[in-house]
Structure 1
């Protein structure tokens, strides 16, 4: 079996792996990405045309990451005549401390505006509100599938490479670096970045990851009933009426995506049933809160979440392995910032992510 050497190996070619590899190229490196599935596959969490660029956070570590992500999205700029970040605004409403979020955003120079339910309903006629609404025009939608294509293009243009349908069968840390076993070769690298989503625990059983739960989630696209302006949105619903917070965004050509956050059944990522859960509850929600959508028009979407218990990301380094995991259904918007953090960790063994993102300390330390 032949042995090859690469500068930095990135295992996992979804959003986080490609964003990391792109960031590494910006620092003069030539990373090599290995992805077990084909380009554009639907087996993980990165496919689909849109992701909510939701900035409604009030925790400093997420706001720091959001700022870094926005810098990355802006640096990517215009692709196919349109920015990869479509800033049509975000509204947040329901049972959440809107004033705290608004204050934290304003402190960062990010637009945040409180509105009454009546003013919001007159502006967004396709939606219904029963309390105050937080609006930020500095949010909207990330063009997810277009971003993946652009990251790959820039990686290759800068001398890196992306290998599709190339599973990594094993990974071993050695005194000299890291060895990756592929079907027909061994690859040696000084450091390996692991961004393998639902397969994180299987590929990194001894790195000390917190518990990760893999679920299959089932948002759906609904057809508008007429002309209306659609923002992205978060709705913190009554838990006695609906199973979870609702999120959504317009997806041109497909309708308006609406979904419950993190309510899916736990699944084996290699044997997903690809079935829709809570479909009736989602239809009921649209019927009650979205008068501008046709409730019977749902076209389900299947994706996975890989979640930590509290939804906090894992961004850390142990030895020569860097890990990004547990993005818990709210990671994509942060991808350029996450890529920058993981690149920091890969190139500087003394670098550290924000404390909440770090792996639990090994026993005895």
Structure 2
């Protein structure tokens, strides 16, 4: 392993903000109750609100910050879109999500996905198994030897089979949130920003009239709902302790693991290709992923030329925290050293010194499955474990269908699993 010769400077990553959007209330009359209140305006909450609103249901979305804010899990310009999973369940879901992203882009005019293809490598990642799933689904892919892959992508160093899946790409997460909310609002939903839930209580019939649940904000405002959907990411553990959720739901939430992770932006080395695929590497020593970082990775090189770099992160490498409120924003030098060593060993196409770095929020479960289930008039949606962003439109559609049409949610997402 490469030894670091100097201490890296801690510098914030480039701005995670997407295109500016004024979320001030529209001219339509403001309401204080709705059939559905969605708590959380990240990718999953916004997608769920859109799906409900398109079905003609009354929806209010409430977020304690701004949509796709930097303290949550849906900000920024780069998330991996891929169909590679070791079983068909999530691959099928990813194919559906891709179609829904395309539909959203067509409706709103936003560019949401940049096609790059993706590479899967490492004995823990099991490229051959992933390839078999793609074969079963009829998804175009190539399984290459290490030598063939390095000839094609000289910026990487491989020592085993490599799977290339060309339909993968990069999701502009922040813009996808904006587009989802724009669509939801167009179909009649309303949005409350800076609306932090202090508590919730059951109040059959109100207040407000007709509500089953009353949510009270930190400033004393109230929202009424027949049904509440909680899609609050890393805030779920603390938030749900202030809501009237049942014991089995609370027990399920005890399985949620919240981490403060770190992301790094590395410059592309001289003479290396400018166009990169996304990539996932998992072996016994390191589990990491990387992708073209989009506008978040913008930097100016020593010649004054504006460039874009590559974003990397370690999977489940960050500090475990109890709740998103416990984020400190402090960078971990040991984690940084691991990533620099990984880049030095495996990615000769990058300069092994990050020019920007930041902390981020990562939520997971021990089995990597989502938690999505309903108890009475509250639905918990924890679409997490590093693959919630790419599946968000399909997740929102499934939740909306379950609530409005009685469609069963997957058993593997239940509070209590067999």
Pick from 370, 388, 409: which aligns with 1:353? Answer: 409
Aligned residues of 1:72 and 1:336 also touching (Cα < 8 A): yes
Q: Deviations over 1:219-255 (max 9, x none)?
A: 211110134131011111232xx3xx11110123411
The residue aligned with 1:178 is 213
Pick from 292, 304, 307: which aligns with 2:364? Answer: 307
Aligned residues of 1:316 and 1:324 also touching (Cα < 8 A): yes
Aligned residues of 2:276 and 2:292 also touching (Cα < 8 A): yes
- For residue 63 of structure 1, report the CA deviation from its aligned partner: 2.2
Pick from 78, 84, 94: which aligns with 1:66? Answer: 94
Quick check: 1:151 aligned with 2:180? yes
Quick check: 1:335 aligned with 2:392? yes
Quick check: 1:261 aligned with 2:261? no
* Separation in 1, partners of 2:68, 2:141: 35
Quick check: 1:30 aligned with 2:76? no
Pick from 236, 239, 252: which aligns with 1:203? Answer: 239
The residue aligned with 2:278 is 232
The residue aligned with 1:221 is 265
Aligned residues of 1:18 and 1:148 also touching (Cα < 8 A): yes
The residue aligned with 1:50 is 78
Aligned residues of 1:8 and 1:189 also touching (Cα < 8 A): yes
The residue aligned with 1:281 is 338
- For residue 295 of structure 1, report the CA deviation from its aligned partner: 0.8
Q: Which runs of 4+ in 1 moved over 6 A?
A: 79-82
Q: Could you tell which deviates more after superposition, 141-150 or 184-193?
A: 184-193
Q: Could you tell which deviates more after superposition, 9-18 or 111-120?
A: 111-120
Q: SS of the residue aligned with 2:353?
A: helix
Where do 5+ consecutive residues of structure 2 fail to align?
Answer: 1-30, 206-211, 298-308
TM-score, length basis structure 2: 0.80
Q: Could you tell which deviates more after superposition, 178-187 or 19-28?
A: 178-187
* Separation in 2, partners of 1:158, 1:213: 35
* Separation in 1, partners of 2:144, 2:374: 43
Q: Deviations over 1:14-67 (max 9, x none)?
A: 111001111112212231100001244211111111101132102233123212
Aligned residues of 1:173 and 1:320 also touching (Cα < 8 A): no
Aligned residues: 356
Q: SS of the residue aligned with 1:29?
A: coil
Aligned residues of 2:84 and 2:91 also touching (Cα < 8 A): no
* Separation in 1, partners of 2:108, 2:184: 18
Q: Deviations over 1:73-118 (max 9, x none)?
A: 1211259977412221011011133222112112212222111112
* Separation in 2, partners of 1:39, 1:199: 14
TM-score, length basis structure 1: 0.91
The residue aligned with 1:112 is 141
Aligned residues of 2:105 and 2:179 also touching (Cα < 8 A): no
Q: Deviations over 1:302-327 (max 9, x none)?
A: 11112212221111111111111151
Q: SS of the residue aligned with 2:32?
A: strand
Q: SS of the residue aligned with 1:114?
A: strand
